[in-house]
Amino acid sequence: MNYNEKYQKWVSKEDLDPALKAELLSMDETAKEDAFYTDVEFGTAGMRGILGAGTNRLNIYVIQKANVGFAKYIASLPEGKERGVAIGYDNRHMSYKFAIESAKVLATYGIKSYIFESLRPTPELSFAVRYLKCAGGIMITASHNPKEHNGYKVYDDTGCQLLPEAADQVVQYVNEVDDELNIKVFSDEEAYPYMTWIGEEVDEAYYKEVMAIEVNPGMDKKDFKIVFSPQHGTSNIAVRTCLTRLGYDIVPVLAQCAPDPDFSNTKSPNPEVPASYELAIKKAKEVDADVVVITDPDGDRLGVVAKHNGEYVLMSGNQSAAVYLEYILSQMKEKGTLPDNAVMYNTIVTSDLGELVARSYGVDVEKTLTGFKFIGDKIRKYEQTHEKTFVFGYEESYGCVIKDFVRDKDAVQAVLTAAEAGNYYKKQGKDLVDVLNELYAKHGTFKETQIALAKAGAAGAARIKEIMDNLRKDAPQEIGGVKVVKVEDYGNSTCSDGTTIQLPKSNVLKYYLEDGSWIAARPSGTEPKCKFYFSIKGTDAKDAADKTEVFHKSMMEIIGE
Protein backbone atom coordinates (compact mmCIF):
# COMPACT_ATOMS: atom_id res chain seq x y z
CA MET A 1 0.00 0.00 0.00
CA ASN A 2 1.27 3.50 -0.74
CA TYR A 3 0.97 6.30 1.77
CA ASN A 4 -2.29 7.63 0.33
CA GLU A 5 -3.96 4.21 0.45
CA LYS A 6 -2.92 3.82 4.07
CA TYR A 7 -4.29 7.29 4.82
CA GLN A 8 -7.64 6.47 3.21
CA LYS A 9 -7.88 3.26 5.24
CA TRP A 10 -7.32 5.15 8.47
CA VAL A 11 -9.55 8.12 7.74
CA SER A 12 -12.38 5.77 6.66
CA LYS A 13 -12.41 3.78 9.90
CA GLU A 14 -15.73 4.60 11.57
CA ASP A 15 -14.69 4.11 15.20
CA LEU A 16 -11.21 5.63 14.89
CA ASP A 17 -10.06 7.58 17.94
CA PRO A 18 -11.74 11.02 17.51
CA ALA A 19 -8.56 13.01 18.16
CA LEU A 20 -6.68 11.01 15.56
CA LYS A 21 -9.55 11.38 13.08
CA ALA A 22 -9.48 15.18 13.51
CA GLU A 23 -5.73 15.21 12.95
CA LEU A 24 -6.08 13.13 9.77
CA LEU A 25 -8.70 15.48 8.37
CA SER A 26 -6.43 18.48 8.93
CA MET A 27 -3.43 16.99 7.06
CA ASP A 28 -2.10 18.42 3.82
CA GLU A 29 -0.35 16.17 1.30
CA THR A 30 3.10 16.58 2.85
CA ALA A 31 1.78 15.68 6.30
CA LYS A 32 -0.04 12.64 4.91
CA GLU A 33 3.11 11.33 3.28
CA ASP A 34 5.22 11.80 6.39
CA ALA A 35 2.62 10.10 8.60
CA PHE A 36 2.16 7.07 6.34
CA TYR A 37 5.15 6.62 4.02
CA THR A 38 6.64 4.04 6.40
CA ASP A 39 5.99 2.31 9.72
CA VAL A 40 7.72 3.24 12.97
CA GLU A 41 10.59 0.76 13.27
CA PHE A 42 12.63 -0.74 16.10
CA GLY A 43 15.99 1.02 16.39
CA THR A 44 18.88 0.73 18.87
CA ALA A 45 16.47 1.44 21.74
CA GLY A 46 13.07 0.17 20.55
CA MET A 47 10.56 2.46 18.88
CA ARG A 48 10.44 6.22 19.20
CA GLY A 49 8.39 8.66 17.20
CA ILE A 50 6.12 11.67 17.10
CA LEU A 51 2.75 11.22 18.78
CA GLY A 52 -0.13 11.39 16.34
CA ALA A 53 -2.10 9.69 13.60
CA GLY A 54 -0.44 7.39 11.09
CA THR A 55 1.73 4.31 10.77
CA ASN A 56 4.85 6.47 11.13
CA ARG A 57 3.57 7.92 14.42
CA LEU A 58 3.06 6.65 17.97
CA ASN A 59 -0.62 6.04 18.81
CA ILE A 60 -2.73 3.31 20.41
CA TYR A 61 -2.98 1.34 17.16
CA VAL A 62 0.77 1.25 16.56
CA ILE A 63 1.33 0.38 20.24
CA GLN A 64 -1.23 -2.43 20.02
CA LYS A 65 0.48 -3.80 16.92
CA ALA A 66 3.89 -3.74 18.61
CA ASN A 67 2.47 -5.52 21.63
CA VAL A 68 0.97 -8.28 19.50
CA GLY A 69 4.50 -9.02 18.32
CA PHE A 70 5.95 -8.89 21.84
CA ALA A 71 3.09 -10.97 23.26
CA LYS A 72 3.72 -13.73 20.72
CA TYR A 73 7.42 -13.62 21.58
CA ILE A 74 6.74 -13.88 25.34
CA ALA A 75 4.22 -16.69 24.78
CA SER A 76 6.90 -18.65 22.90
CA LEU A 77 9.23 -18.64 25.94
CA PRO A 78 9.18 -21.36 28.63
CA GLU A 79 6.43 -20.40 31.13
CA GLY A 80 6.42 -16.97 29.47
CA LYS A 81 2.71 -16.35 30.04
CA GLU A 82 2.90 -17.19 33.74
CA ARG A 83 6.18 -15.33 34.41
CA GLY A 84 4.67 -12.30 32.75
CA VAL A 85 5.95 -8.86 31.81
CA ALA A 86 6.89 -5.86 33.97
CA ILE A 87 5.66 -2.51 32.59
CA GLY A 88 6.96 0.97 33.38
CA TYR A 89 6.23 4.39 31.94
CA ASP A 90 7.49 7.97 32.09
CA ASN A 91 5.90 11.42 32.35
CA ARG A 92 5.09 11.95 28.66
CA HIS A 93 1.77 12.45 26.97
CA MET A 94 0.04 9.07 26.45
CA SER A 95 2.61 7.12 28.50
CA TYR A 96 0.12 5.79 31.05
CA LYS A 97 -2.42 5.05 28.30
CA PHE A 98 0.17 3.15 26.26
CA ALA A 99 1.24 1.18 29.36
CA ILE A 100 -2.32 0.07 30.08
CA GLU A 101 -2.92 -0.70 26.41
CA SER A 102 0.22 -2.85 26.44
CA ALA A 103 -1.05 -4.79 29.46
CA LYS A 104 -4.44 -5.32 27.81
CA VAL A 105 -2.88 -6.74 24.64
CA LEU A 106 -0.69 -9.04 26.75
CA ALA A 107 -3.78 -10.17 28.67
CA THR A 108 -5.52 -10.97 25.39
CA TYR A 109 -2.75 -13.51 24.83
CA GLY A 110 -3.04 -14.87 28.37
CA ILE A 111 0.07 -13.11 29.66
CA LYS A 112 0.37 -11.62 33.15
CA SER A 113 1.66 -8.10 33.64
CA TYR A 114 3.13 -6.19 36.58
CA ILE A 115 2.50 -2.46 36.14
CA PHE A 116 4.07 0.30 38.21
CA GLU A 117 1.39 2.29 40.02
CA SER A 118 2.98 5.55 38.84
CA LEU A 119 5.91 6.73 36.74
CA ARG A 120 9.33 5.19 37.42
CA PRO A 121 12.79 5.54 35.86
CA THR A 122 13.82 3.15 33.11
CA PRO A 123 16.57 1.48 35.19
CA GLU A 124 14.00 0.54 37.84
CA LEU A 125 11.96 -1.19 35.14
CA SER A 126 15.07 -3.18 34.19
CA PHE A 127 15.55 -4.02 37.87
CA ALA A 128 11.89 -4.99 38.28
CA VAL A 129 12.12 -7.56 35.47
CA ARG A 130 14.92 -9.30 37.35
CA TYR A 131 13.43 -8.84 40.82
CA LEU A 132 10.03 -10.24 39.82
CA LYS A 133 11.62 -12.95 37.63
CA CYS A 134 9.52 -11.86 34.65
CA ALA A 135 9.91 -13.18 31.13
CA GLY A 136 10.32 -9.63 29.81
CA GLY A 137 9.65 -5.96 30.27
CA ILE A 138 8.14 -2.92 28.55
CA MET A 139 9.10 0.70 29.15
CA ILE A 140 6.98 3.47 27.65
CA THR A 141 9.36 6.38 27.12
CA ALA A 142 11.04 8.55 24.51
CA SER A 143 14.02 9.10 26.80
CA HIS A 144 15.49 12.58 26.12
CA ASN A 145 13.52 13.30 22.93
CA PRO A 146 11.33 16.43 22.60
CA LYS A 147 7.86 16.61 24.19
CA GLU A 148 6.09 15.72 20.93
CA HIS A 149 7.59 12.22 21.06
CA ASN A 150 6.97 8.98 22.89
CA GLY A 151 8.40 5.50 22.60
CA TYR A 152 8.29 1.81 23.43
CA LYS A 153 11.23 -0.29 24.64
CA VAL A 154 11.17 -4.04 25.28
CA TYR A 155 13.36 -6.11 27.58
CA ASP A 156 14.31 -9.75 27.99
CA ASP A 157 14.22 -11.76 31.21
CA THR A 158 17.60 -10.40 32.37
CA GLY A 159 16.38 -6.81 32.26
CA CYS A 160 18.38 -6.13 29.10
CA GLN A 161 16.82 -4.53 26.03
CA LEU A 162 16.13 -7.13 23.37
CA LEU A 163 19.16 -8.12 21.34
CA PRO A 164 18.91 -8.18 17.53
CA GLU A 165 18.02 -11.86 17.22
CA ALA A 166 15.11 -11.59 19.68
CA ALA A 167 14.08 -8.17 18.34
CA ASP A 168 13.97 -9.65 14.83
CA GLN A 169 11.59 -12.31 16.13
CA VAL A 170 9.31 -9.64 17.58
CA VAL A 171 9.44 -7.65 14.35
CA GLN A 172 8.54 -10.76 12.37
CA TYR A 173 5.48 -11.26 14.57
CA VAL A 174 4.61 -7.55 14.25
CA ASN A 175 4.81 -7.73 10.47
CA GLU A 176 2.33 -10.62 10.48
CA VAL A 177 -0.37 -8.22 11.72
CA ASP A 178 -2.42 -7.47 8.60
CA ASP A 179 -4.55 -4.66 9.97
CA GLU A 180 -3.35 -2.53 12.88
CA LEU A 181 -6.75 -0.84 13.09
CA ASN A 182 -8.65 -4.01 13.95
CA ILE A 183 -6.59 -5.84 16.54
CA LYS A 184 -8.59 -7.83 19.09
CA VAL A 185 -7.89 -6.44 22.56
CA PHE A 186 -9.47 -7.43 25.88
CA SER A 187 -11.73 -4.91 27.58
CA ASP A 188 -10.60 -3.42 30.90
CA GLU A 189 -12.77 -5.90 32.77
CA GLU A 190 -11.41 -8.88 30.84
CA ALA A 191 -7.80 -7.74 31.28
CA TYR A 192 -7.80 -6.88 35.00
CA PRO A 193 -7.38 -10.49 36.26
CA TYR A 194 -4.05 -10.62 34.42
CA MET A 195 -2.77 -7.26 35.76
CA THR A 196 -0.93 -6.66 39.05
CA TRP A 197 0.07 -3.21 40.33
CA ILE A 198 3.59 -2.87 41.77
CA GLY A 199 5.25 -0.12 43.75
CA GLU A 200 6.84 0.23 47.17
CA GLU A 201 8.27 -3.29 47.51
CA VAL A 202 10.14 -3.00 44.20
CA ASP A 203 11.15 0.60 45.00
CA GLU A 204 12.72 -0.34 48.30
CA ALA A 205 14.56 -3.32 46.82
CA TYR A 206 15.95 -1.08 44.07
CA TYR A 207 16.93 1.71 46.48
CA LYS A 208 18.77 -0.81 48.67
CA GLU A 209 20.86 -1.99 45.72
CA VAL A 210 21.59 1.56 44.55
CA MET A 211 22.74 2.73 47.98
CA ALA A 212 25.02 -0.33 48.26
CA ILE A 213 27.19 0.80 45.32
CA GLU A 214 29.11 3.26 47.51
CA VAL A 215 32.83 2.61 47.28
CA ASN A 216 33.52 4.45 50.54
CA PRO A 217 30.38 3.98 52.65
CA GLY A 218 30.17 6.13 55.73
CA MET A 219 32.26 8.98 54.30
CA ASP A 220 31.28 12.29 55.91
CA LYS A 221 28.99 14.24 53.56
CA LYS A 222 28.03 17.34 55.51
CA ASP A 223 30.23 19.80 53.57
CA PHE A 224 29.23 18.67 50.09
CA LYS A 225 26.21 20.22 48.38
CA ILE A 226 24.40 18.87 45.31
CA VAL A 227 21.83 20.61 43.12
CA PHE A 228 19.57 18.12 41.35
CA SER A 229 16.95 18.29 38.59
CA PRO A 230 14.93 15.40 37.15
CA GLN A 231 13.92 17.63 34.20
CA HIS A 232 10.21 17.04 34.94
CA GLY A 233 10.81 13.29 34.61
CA THR A 234 10.85 10.03 36.51
CA SER A 235 13.95 10.11 38.70
CA ASN A 236 12.85 12.73 41.24
CA ILE A 237 11.77 10.40 44.03
CA ALA A 238 14.41 7.72 43.46
CA VAL A 239 17.38 10.11 43.41
CA ARG A 240 16.24 12.26 46.30
CA THR A 241 15.33 9.25 48.43
CA CYS A 242 18.67 7.49 47.95
CA LEU A 243 20.85 10.57 48.42
CA THR A 244 18.89 11.81 51.43
CA ARG A 245 19.08 8.42 53.14
CA LEU A 246 22.83 8.38 52.58
CA GLY A 247 23.16 11.80 54.23
CA TYR A 248 23.84 14.04 51.25
CA ASP A 249 22.82 17.70 51.21
CA ILE A 250 20.67 17.72 48.08
CA VAL A 251 18.94 20.85 46.79
CA PRO A 252 16.22 20.09 44.22
CA VAL A 253 15.28 22.44 41.39
CA LEU A 254 11.64 22.43 42.48
CA ALA A 255 10.35 24.08 39.29
CA GLN A 256 11.54 21.01 37.36
CA CYS A 257 10.47 18.30 39.83
CA ALA A 258 6.81 18.01 38.79
CA PRO A 259 6.28 15.25 36.18
CA ASP A 260 5.21 17.62 33.43
CA PRO A 261 4.73 16.11 29.92
CA ASP A 262 5.26 19.52 28.33
CA PHE A 263 8.61 20.10 30.09
CA SER A 264 7.37 23.62 30.84
CA ASN A 265 10.33 24.83 32.90
CA THR A 266 13.25 23.50 30.90
CA LYS A 267 14.57 24.55 27.50
CA SER A 268 15.43 20.94 26.73
CA PRO A 269 14.96 17.63 28.58
CA ASN A 270 18.23 16.35 27.11
CA PRO A 271 21.41 16.49 29.28
CA GLU A 272 23.46 16.62 26.06
CA VAL A 273 22.06 20.13 25.41
CA PRO A 274 23.75 22.89 27.50
CA ALA A 275 20.52 24.94 27.74
CA SER A 276 18.94 22.16 29.84
CA TYR A 277 21.17 23.14 32.79
CA GLU A 278 20.18 26.81 33.05
CA LEU A 279 17.82 26.64 36.05
CA ALA A 280 20.00 24.12 37.88
CA ILE A 281 23.14 26.23 37.48
CA LYS A 282 21.23 29.32 38.63
CA LYS A 283 20.20 27.41 41.76
CA ALA A 284 23.78 26.16 42.26
CA LYS A 285 25.08 29.72 42.26
CA GLU A 286 22.45 30.70 44.83
CA VAL A 287 23.38 27.91 47.25
CA ASP A 288 27.09 27.58 46.35
CA ALA A 289 26.73 23.94 45.32
CA ASP A 290 29.71 21.71 44.59
CA VAL A 291 28.06 19.83 41.73
CA VAL A 292 24.93 19.99 39.58
CA VAL A 293 23.35 16.74 38.40
CA ILE A 294 20.43 16.46 35.99
CA THR A 295 18.81 13.34 34.62
CA ASP A 296 16.86 12.95 31.41
CA PRO A 297 13.09 12.30 31.69
CA ASP A 298 13.29 8.50 31.96
CA GLY A 299 16.21 8.59 34.38
CA ASP A 300 18.79 6.60 32.46
CA ARG A 301 21.17 9.45 31.47
CA LEU A 302 23.01 11.83 33.76
CA GLY A 303 24.57 15.22 33.06
CA VAL A 304 27.11 16.65 35.51
CA VAL A 305 28.29 20.22 36.08
CA ALA A 306 31.19 20.68 38.49
CA LYS A 307 32.20 23.83 40.32
CA HIS A 308 35.77 24.57 39.22
CA ASN A 309 37.72 27.73 40.09
CA GLY A 310 34.47 29.49 40.94
CA GLU A 311 32.77 28.57 37.64
CA TYR A 312 30.29 25.82 36.82
CA VAL A 313 31.77 23.59 34.11
CA LEU A 314 29.66 21.17 32.09
CA MET A 315 31.27 17.75 31.65
CA SER A 316 30.49 15.53 28.67
CA GLY A 317 29.40 11.92 29.06
CA ASN A 318 32.87 10.77 28.03
CA GLN A 319 34.55 13.07 30.54
CA SER A 320 32.35 12.28 33.53
CA ALA A 321 32.57 8.53 32.91
CA ALA A 322 36.39 8.70 32.77
CA VAL A 323 36.38 10.45 36.16
CA TYR A 324 33.95 7.86 37.63
CA LEU A 325 36.26 5.13 36.37
CA GLU A 326 39.31 6.78 37.91
CA TYR A 327 37.54 7.10 41.25
CA ILE A 328 36.07 3.59 41.34
CA LEU A 329 39.17 1.76 40.10
CA SER A 330 41.63 3.75 42.23
CA GLN A 331 39.58 3.07 45.34
CA MET A 332 39.13 -0.62 44.53
CA LYS A 333 42.88 -0.96 43.97
CA GLU A 334 43.63 0.84 47.23
CA LYS A 335 41.26 -1.42 49.14
CA GLY A 336 42.45 -4.58 47.39
CA THR A 337 39.01 -5.29 45.94
CA LEU A 338 39.83 -4.86 42.23
CA PRO A 339 39.40 -8.30 40.60
CA ASP A 340 42.31 -9.72 38.61
CA ASN A 341 39.92 -10.44 35.73
CA ALA A 342 38.10 -7.09 35.80
CA VAL A 343 36.50 -5.84 32.57
CA MET A 344 34.99 -2.52 31.50
CA TYR A 345 32.64 -2.10 28.53
CA ASN A 346 32.09 0.87 26.27
CA THR A 347 31.05 1.40 22.65
CA ILE A 348 32.75 1.94 19.32
CA VAL A 349 31.84 5.65 19.39
CA THR A 350 33.08 6.25 22.94
CA SER A 351 36.22 8.27 23.71
CA ASP A 352 39.57 6.52 24.09
CA LEU A 353 40.17 8.24 27.45
CA GLY A 354 38.07 5.80 29.49
CA GLU A 355 39.85 2.86 27.91
CA LEU A 356 43.24 4.35 28.81
CA VAL A 357 42.10 4.89 32.41
CA ALA A 358 40.83 1.31 32.70
CA ARG A 359 43.95 -0.24 31.21
CA SER A 360 46.16 1.82 33.54
CA TYR A 361 44.63 -0.21 36.38
CA GLY A 362 45.01 -3.52 34.55
CA VAL A 363 41.32 -3.63 33.65
CA ASP A 364 40.43 -5.23 30.32
CA VAL A 365 38.25 -3.24 27.90
CA GLU A 366 35.71 -4.62 25.43
CA LYS A 367 33.82 -2.50 22.92
CA THR A 368 30.27 -3.01 21.67
CA LEU A 369 28.01 -1.45 19.09
CA THR A 370 26.00 1.61 20.11
CA GLY A 371 23.06 0.58 22.28
CA PHE A 372 23.27 -0.39 25.94
CA LYS A 373 21.69 -3.77 25.23
CA PHE A 374 25.06 -4.89 23.86
CA ILE A 375 26.72 -3.97 27.15
CA GLY A 376 23.97 -5.84 28.99
CA ASP A 377 24.66 -8.87 26.82
CA LYS A 378 28.36 -8.74 27.66
CA ILE A 379 27.51 -8.67 31.37
CA ARG A 380 25.27 -11.73 30.94
CA LYS A 381 27.98 -13.66 29.05
CA TYR A 382 30.60 -13.32 31.76
CA GLU A 383 28.04 -13.79 34.51
CA GLN A 384 27.60 -17.28 33.08
CA THR A 385 31.23 -18.12 32.23
CA HIS A 386 32.98 -16.26 35.09
CA GLU A 387 35.89 -15.53 32.71
CA LYS A 388 35.79 -11.85 33.63
CA THR A 389 34.26 -9.67 36.33
CA PHE A 390 32.25 -6.60 35.36
CA VAL A 391 33.31 -3.32 37.01
CA PHE A 392 31.80 -0.58 34.81
CA GLY A 393 29.92 0.03 31.56
CA TYR A 394 29.19 3.25 29.72
CA GLU A 395 28.57 4.99 26.41
CA GLU A 396 29.32 8.54 25.32
CA SER A 397 25.68 9.64 25.43
CA TYR A 398 25.72 10.30 29.21
CA GLY A 399 24.75 6.75 30.21
CA CYS A 400 26.52 4.29 32.50
CA VAL A 401 25.92 1.42 34.89
CA ILE A 402 28.09 0.78 37.93
CA LYS A 403 26.60 -2.41 39.37
CA ASP A 404 24.83 -4.96 37.24
CA PHE A 405 21.59 -5.41 39.19
CA VAL A 406 20.35 -3.19 36.36
CA ARG A 407 21.10 -4.10 32.74
CA ASP A 408 20.49 -0.67 31.24
CA LYS A 409 21.87 2.82 31.74
CA ASP A 410 21.14 3.94 35.30
CA ALA A 411 21.24 7.64 36.13
CA VAL A 412 20.26 6.95 39.75
CA GLN A 413 23.46 4.95 40.23
CA ALA A 414 25.38 7.57 38.29
CA VAL A 415 24.11 10.43 40.50
CA LEU A 416 25.34 8.61 43.58
CA THR A 417 28.74 7.94 41.98
CA ALA A 418 29.12 11.57 40.86
CA ALA A 419 28.24 12.72 44.37
CA GLU A 420 30.59 10.27 46.08
CA ALA A 421 33.50 11.02 43.77
CA GLY A 422 32.94 14.77 44.08
CA ASN A 423 32.80 14.54 47.87
CA TYR A 424 35.91 12.36 48.04
CA TYR A 425 38.00 14.64 45.83
CA LYS A 426 36.79 17.78 47.61
CA LYS A 427 38.30 16.40 50.80
CA GLN A 428 41.59 16.26 48.88
CA GLY A 429 41.24 19.88 47.78
CA LYS A 430 40.18 18.98 44.23
CA ASP A 431 37.03 18.94 42.13
CA LEU A 432 35.86 16.68 39.29
CA VAL A 433 37.36 18.95 36.60
CA ASP A 434 40.72 18.88 38.41
CA VAL A 435 40.64 15.08 38.23
CA LEU A 436 39.74 15.19 34.54
CA ASN A 437 42.69 17.51 33.87
CA GLU A 438 44.97 15.11 35.73
CA LEU A 439 43.75 12.31 33.46
CA TYR A 440 44.50 14.44 30.40
CA ALA A 441 48.01 15.13 31.71
CA LYS A 442 48.58 11.41 32.19
CA HIS A 443 46.84 9.94 29.12
CA GLY A 444 46.63 12.78 26.58
CA THR A 445 44.07 15.51 25.94
CA PHE A 446 40.89 14.48 24.13
CA LYS A 447 37.95 16.54 22.93
CA GLU A 448 34.80 14.62 22.04
CA THR A 449 32.00 16.28 20.10
CA GLN A 450 29.08 15.27 17.95
CA ILE A 451 27.23 16.68 14.95
CA ALA A 452 23.69 15.38 14.53
CA LEU A 453 22.19 16.26 11.16
CA ALA A 454 18.39 16.25 11.52
CA LYS A 455 16.78 14.89 8.35
CA ALA A 456 13.05 14.32 8.88
CA GLY A 457 10.52 12.57 6.67
CA ALA A 458 10.88 10.50 3.52
CA ALA A 459 13.28 13.00 1.94
CA GLY A 460 15.36 13.02 5.10
CA ALA A 461 15.61 9.22 5.22
CA ALA A 462 16.74 9.24 1.59
CA ARG A 463 19.37 11.90 2.32
CA ILE A 464 20.77 9.95 5.29
CA LYS A 465 21.07 6.85 3.10
CA GLU A 466 22.77 8.91 0.41
CA ILE A 467 25.33 10.28 2.88
CA MET A 468 26.26 6.82 4.15
CA ASP A 469 26.30 5.31 0.65
CA ASN A 470 28.60 8.06 -0.63
CA LEU A 471 30.99 7.65 2.30
CA ARG A 472 31.19 3.92 1.60
CA LYS A 473 31.68 4.36 -2.12
CA ASP A 474 34.29 7.10 -1.82
CA ALA A 475 36.02 6.92 1.56
CA PRO A 476 37.99 10.08 2.41
CA GLN A 477 41.77 9.70 2.26
CA GLU A 478 42.25 12.63 4.63
CA ILE A 479 40.08 14.72 6.91
CA GLY A 480 41.06 18.23 7.93
CA GLY A 481 44.45 17.76 6.32
CA VAL A 482 45.22 14.67 8.45
CA LYS A 483 45.72 11.30 6.77
CA VAL A 484 43.13 8.55 7.31
CA VAL A 485 45.17 5.49 8.31
CA LYS A 486 42.37 2.97 8.83
CA VAL A 487 38.68 2.64 7.96
CA GLU A 488 36.24 0.31 9.72
CA ASP A 489 32.92 -0.53 8.03
CA TYR A 490 30.61 -2.20 10.53
CA GLY A 491 27.99 -2.62 7.81
CA ASN A 492 30.02 -5.34 6.13
CA SER A 493 32.33 -6.21 9.07
CA THR A 494 35.47 -5.19 7.18
CA CYS A 495 38.50 -3.12 8.05
CA SER A 496 40.90 -1.51 5.58
CA ASP A 497 43.83 -3.35 7.22
CA GLY A 498 42.32 -6.66 6.12
CA THR A 499 40.94 -7.74 9.48
CA THR A 500 37.34 -8.74 10.15
CA ILE A 501 35.20 -6.91 12.73
CA GLN A 502 33.87 -9.37 15.30
CA LEU A 503 30.63 -7.55 16.10
CA PRO A 504 27.09 -7.75 14.69
CA LYS A 505 26.67 -5.81 11.46
CA SER A 506 25.61 -2.18 11.89
CA ASN A 507 25.47 0.85 9.63
CA VAL A 508 28.56 2.56 11.08
CA LEU A 509 31.74 3.90 9.48
CA LYS A 510 34.79 4.82 11.54
CA TYR A 511 37.88 6.68 10.34
CA TYR A 512 41.15 6.52 12.29
CA LEU A 513 43.50 9.44 11.71
CA GLU A 514 47.28 9.64 11.77
CA ASP A 515 47.32 11.94 14.81
CA GLY A 516 45.45 9.50 17.09
CA SER A 517 42.03 11.05 16.50
CA TRP A 518 39.02 9.26 15.01
CA ILE A 519 35.67 10.19 13.44
CA ALA A 520 32.61 7.94 13.10
CA ALA A 521 29.35 8.23 11.16
CA ARG A 522 26.07 6.42 11.81
CA PRO A 523 22.35 7.01 11.34
CA SER A 524 20.54 7.31 14.66
CA GLY A 525 18.49 4.29 15.64
CA THR A 526 15.86 6.37 17.44
CA GLU A 527 15.68 9.75 15.70
CA PRO A 528 15.70 10.98 12.07
CA LYS A 529 19.33 12.04 12.28
CA CYS A 530 22.72 11.18 10.82
CA LYS A 531 25.28 11.40 13.61
CA PHE A 532 28.99 12.16 13.37
CA TYR A 533 31.19 11.45 16.38
CA PHE A 534 34.56 13.18 16.80
CA SER A 535 37.24 12.04 19.24
CA ILE A 536 40.10 14.48 18.67
CA LYS A 537 43.48 14.11 20.34
CA GLY A 538 45.54 17.24 20.93
CA THR A 539 48.69 18.33 22.70
CA ASP A 540 46.57 20.40 25.09
CA ALA A 541 42.99 21.67 25.44
CA LYS A 542 43.43 24.56 22.98
CA ASP A 543 45.05 22.36 20.37
CA ALA A 544 42.28 19.75 20.68
CA ALA A 545 39.59 22.45 20.41
CA ASP A 546 41.23 24.09 17.38
CA LYS A 547 41.62 20.75 15.60
CA THR A 548 38.01 19.82 16.37
CA GLU A 549 36.77 22.94 14.61
CA VAL A 550 38.83 22.04 11.53
CA PHE A 551 37.62 18.44 11.51
CA HIS A 552 33.97 19.51 11.87
CA LYS A 553 34.22 21.80 8.85
CA SER A 554 36.12 19.26 6.78
CA MET A 555 33.69 16.42 7.47
CA MET A 556 30.67 18.52 6.53
CA GLU A 557 32.39 19.55 3.30
CA ILE A 558 33.11 15.89 2.49
CA ILE A 559 29.43 14.92 2.82
CA GLY A 560 28.18 18.10 1.12
CA GLU A 561 26.43 19.76 4.04
Pseudo-torsion of CA 403, 407, 411, 417, nearest 10°? 10
User: What number of CA atoms fall less than 13 Å from residue 80's CA on the CB side?
Assistant: 17
Taking a C-beta distance cutoff of 8 angstroms, is the pair 313, 290 a contact? no
- Beta strands 509-513 and 482-489, pairing class: antiparallel
Beta-bridge partners for 365: 344
Q: How far is CA 165 from CA 172, 490, 536, in A?
A: 11, 17, 34
Query: Burial code of 90-125, b = ≥16 C-beta within 10 A, e = fewer?
Result: bbbbbbbebbbbbbbbbbbbebbbbbbeebbbbbbb
Find the farthest-apart pair of alpha carbons in the chain and give their distance in angstroms, rounded: 69
Going 130 to 132 to 135 to 138, the CA torsion angle's sign is negative
26 catalytic residue (yes or no): no
Q: What is residue 115's three-state secondary structure?
A: strand
Taking a C-beta distance cutoff of 8 angstroms, is the pair 125, 161 a contact? no
Identity of the residue numbered 336: G
Cα three-residue angle 254-259-261, rounded to 5 degrees? 125
Q: How far apart are CA 60 and CA 20, in angstroms?
A: 10
Taking a C-beta distance cutoff of 8 angstroms, is the pair 269, 276 a contact? yes
Q: What is residue 330's three-state secondary structure?
A: helix
| Residue from 95, 126, 143, 320 carrying the catalytic annotation | 143
Q: How far apart are CA 146 and CA 149, in angstroms?
A: 6
Q: How far apart are CA 103 and CA 185, in angstroms?
A: 10
Q: How far apart are CA 193 and CA 190, in angstroms?
A: 7
- The secondary element (H helix, E strand) that includes residue 195 is strand 195-198
Identity of the residue numbered 38: T
User: What number of CA atoms fall less than 13 Å from residue 213's CA on the CB side?
Assistant: 29
Count of residues in the chain: 561
How many angstroms from the chain centroid is the CA of residue 531?
15
Residues carrying an active site annotation: 143
